[in-house]
């Protein structure tokens, strides 16, 4: 059922897309040499985050370069998408007739029947040599149909074979359905400049399954429901399939003759026409499952749905077809349906043993069905838990009117006063006049916090800092990172329990595909993730500590990590070494110690060690002399390598490498020509 809802929504979307394009093309009126006043131009990155906004007077046919001059925005090359190629706009109702890429010398011809008081807004989205294309793949395996969502990086201008090459490997559905090929059901034949391009791709098979559920009176006089899956060749017509499916079962009652079959479909999803294996682009539906209920002269079969709350605090639904005389009352159906009630109720709700029944008539057709609900002594508090990842879990609580429930840690409920002001509470009181059940929604606090950070970033001006506290779980949302990406705004995230903070400027943020864990853990040098035996020889007599990150991979930004320090006794430098992919220790960078803190430049979360000492003191004897200069000389000349910690202290000019410039500085200080580095 879920599959069909999703697909019908998609069909509606495609129809509306064609409709809106047609309307726009028919109503657009191009006014030559017209000057349009106060046109709002919005420039977004490829994720849809606004980076620049202008309000300009535009003469018909002016290029973007003429309109914006030196203000014309550009984007840096993207590590995955390649070079920036211009701006894409598909605005129709507010300005541009059809989607295309705009460069600095591209004319802006406004296709719009403009009146003086009209408001024109044109949005442009960054375009690159490549782009992330959203693809949905539909395919079968032995458990049924599946949807797989992918985002693939593809080159603009590539043909549909590029889409098909990204398809997952699928096999036959043994022994009936053999995979033949992939078909693009929705999407252009060529990857265009549109950053929001979408494809729907489905696997084609030689045979397709059709599920059938048949309810009828058998030769014992009881209602029998049989479920099975049948297979039909691609191209079979549903009207022919239904003739077979509606055949009278061999064990059907001979005392009561079947006069027909009703396709039970209260939501109107079942298609009784068309051809199996021919999809949305041709008939707007996929394969069907049929729920068939037999019809009789003097007897009616009624579908009854039962809902109970189990000990797992979840709602469980079952259904049963029951037999009644023709035109039976609701009470008659209840008397029969009560014989089949399920068990296993949540004890805290205090099940009374009684049930209520409700007759429901479908808005889509004439289907009638019944809902049976148990009666409990307690109020059923049905809570939708709106999670951080946008999923929703429904949980049931038992309560009395007026009871106060503690909302689980990490969630809150929105409350409103008489003036309409919103507050966020961590307790919920069941209304004193509550009857049987109430429905509420509790939201993830993390979702609220991330929206708050994204809002702060969006409202910040270029050059400003946005200060916040890193959450306990260390997660920074995709929404916040997308808001930051490409902007000259710095986010400063304090990590209170670690005496540290992140400083991340938006110009360093690259591709953002997911949330990121920025938690940091500082520990003593002999208790961290790295074996002390592995690093002890590198440390000599120096003070050190280990550092670990919540994300152990490469970050999608290059940021500063500032750590607070104390008790170092005149040491002026901190060196960071980190594990490499090959598990060796590598020199990352070094930093001066200023005002009891130091800050490293970091682009990955590999486990590391911070070593404290004196700049230029390679041999850890707390002074800078000829021996330090000689070690640096031998390393720079290639005569011998020095270890990664010594490299950090030999890098006296803090450029993350040891070369002739460092050697000259070292010699100048040792010889007395300069006092410090």
Total-model pTM: 0.58
Rounded to whole angstroms, the Cα distance separating 219 from 289 reads 26
Burial class (CB in 10 A: 0-12, 13-18, 19+), 46: buried
The pLDDT value recorded for residue 145 is 81
Mean predicted confidence (pLDDT) in 586-599 = 90
Mean predicted confidence (pLDDT) in 202-230 = 93
Burial class (CB in 10 A: 0-12, 13-18, 19+), 568: middle
- Asked if 602 and 558 count as a contact pair (C-beta separation under 8 A), the reply is yes
Mean predicted confidence (pLDDT) in 621-627 = 88
Distance of alpha carbon 617 from the chain centroid = 49
Phi, psi of 638 (to 5 degrees): 85, 5
Lowest mean per-residue pLDDT among 92-96, 306-310, 344-348: 92-96
3-state helix, strand, coil in the chain (%, to 5): 20, 40, 40
Distance of alpha carbon 392 from the chain centroid = 14
User: 3-class secondary structure for 554-575?
Assistant: EEEEEEEEEEECCCCCCCCEEE
Q: pLDDT per residue over 326-373, tens digit each? A: 999 999 999 999 999 999 999 999 999 999 999 999 988 889 999 999
CA distances from 431 to 25, 415, 441 (A): 54, 13, 15
Mean predicted confidence (pLDDT) in 483-503 = 91
Handedness of CA 277, 283, 289, 293 (dihedral sign): negative
- Asked if 628 and 575 count as a contact pair (C-beta separation under 8 A), the reply is no
The pLDDT value recorded for residue 449 is 61
The tokens for 490 are: 């710095």
- Asked if 466 and 491 count as a contact pair (C-beta separation under 8 A), the reply is yes
Most confident of 171-175, 207-211, 418-422: 207-211
- List residues bridging with 534 in a β-sheet: none
Question: Where does the pLDDT of residue 5 fall: very low under 50, low under 70, confident under 90, or very high at 90 and above?
Answer: very low
Rounded to whole angstroms, the Cα distance separating 476 from 228 reads 48
Question: Where does the pLDDT of residue 402 fall: very low under 50, low under 70, confident under 90, or very high at 90 and above?
Answer: very high
């Amino acid at each position: 059922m879920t599959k069909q809802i999703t697909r019908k929504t998609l069909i509606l979307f495609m129809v509306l897309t064609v409709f809106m394009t047609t309307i726009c093309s028919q109503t657009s009126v191009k006014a030559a040499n017209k000057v349009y006043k106060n046109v709002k131009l919005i420039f977004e990155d490829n994720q849809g985050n606004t980076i620049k906004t202008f309000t300009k007077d535009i003469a018909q046919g002016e290029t973007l370069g003429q309109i914006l001059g030196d203000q014309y925005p550009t984007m840096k090359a993207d590590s995955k998408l390649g070079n920036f190629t211009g701006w894409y706009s598909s605005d129709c109702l507010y300005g541009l007739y059809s989607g295309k890429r705009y460069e600095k010398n591209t004319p802006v011809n406004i296709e719009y029947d403009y009146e003086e008081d009209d408001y024109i807004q044109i949005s442009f989205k960054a375009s690159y040599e490549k782009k992330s294309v959203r693809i949905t793949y539909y395919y079968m395996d032995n458990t049924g149909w599946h949807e797989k969502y992918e985002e693939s990086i593809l080159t603009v201008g590539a043909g549909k074979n590029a889409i098909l090459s990204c398809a997952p490997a699928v096999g036959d559905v043994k022994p009936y359905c053999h995979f033949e090929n992939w078909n693009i059901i929705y999407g252009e034949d060529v990857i265009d400049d549109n950053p929001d391009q979408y494809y729907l791709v489905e696997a084609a098979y030689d045979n397709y399954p059709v599920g059938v559920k048949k309810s009828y009176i058998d030769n014992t006089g009881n209602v029998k429901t049989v479920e099975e899956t049948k297979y039909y060749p691609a191209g079979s017509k549903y009207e022919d399939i239904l003739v077979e499916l509606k055949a009278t079962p061999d064990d059907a009652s001979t005392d009561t003759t079947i006069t027909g079959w009703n396709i039970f479909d209260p939501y109107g999803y079942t298609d009784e026409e068309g051809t199996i294996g021919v999809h949305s682009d041709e008939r707007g539906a996929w394969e069907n499952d049929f729920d068939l209920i037999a019809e009789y002269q003097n007897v009616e079969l009624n579908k009854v749905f039962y809902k109970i709350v189990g000990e797992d605090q979840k709602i469980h639904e079952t259904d049963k077809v029951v037999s009644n005389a023709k035109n039976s009352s609701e009470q008659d159906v209840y008397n029969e349906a009560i014989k089949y009630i399920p068990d296993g109720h949540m004890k805290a709700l205090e099940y009374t043993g009684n049930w209520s029944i409700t007759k429901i008539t479908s808005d889509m057709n004439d289907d009638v069905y019944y809902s049976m609900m148990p009666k409990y002594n307690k109020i059923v508090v049905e809570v939708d838990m709106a999670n951080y990842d946008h999923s929703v879990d429904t949980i049931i609580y038992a309560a009395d009117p007026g009871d106060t429930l503690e909302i689980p840690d990490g969630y809150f409920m929105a409350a409103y006063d008489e003036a309409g002001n919103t507050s966020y509470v961590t307790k919920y009181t069941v209304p004193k006049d509550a009857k049987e059940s109430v429905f509420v929604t509790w939201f993830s606090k993390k979702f609220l916090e991330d929206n708050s950070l994204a809002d702060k970033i969006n409202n910040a001006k270029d050059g400003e800092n946005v200060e916040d506290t890193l959450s306990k779980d260390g997660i920074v949302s995709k929404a916040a990172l997308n808001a930051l990406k490409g902007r000259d705004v710095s986010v400063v995230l304090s990590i209170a329990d670690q005496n540290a903070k992140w400083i991340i400027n938006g110009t360093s943020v690259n591709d953002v595909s997911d949330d990121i864990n920025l938690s940091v853990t500082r520990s003593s040098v002999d208790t961290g993730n790295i074996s002390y035996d592995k690093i002890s020889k590198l440390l000599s007599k120096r003070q050190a500590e280990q550092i670990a990150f919540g994300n152990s991979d490469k970050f999608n930004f290059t940021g500063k990590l500032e750590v607070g320090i104390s008790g170092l006794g005149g040491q002026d430098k901190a060196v960071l070494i980190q594990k490499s992919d090959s598990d060796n220790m590598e020199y990352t960078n070094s930093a001066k110690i200023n005002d009891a803190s130091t800050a490293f430049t970091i682009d990955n979360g590999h486990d590391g060690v911070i070593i404290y000492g004196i700049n230029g003191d390679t041999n850890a004897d707390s002074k800078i002399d000829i021996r330090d200069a000689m070690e640096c000389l031998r390393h720079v000349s290639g005569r011998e390598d020095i270890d990664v910690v010594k490299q950090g202290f030999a890098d006296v000019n803090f450029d993350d490498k040891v070369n002739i410039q460092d050697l000259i500085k070292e010699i100048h200080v040792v010889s007395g020509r300069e006092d410090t580095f």
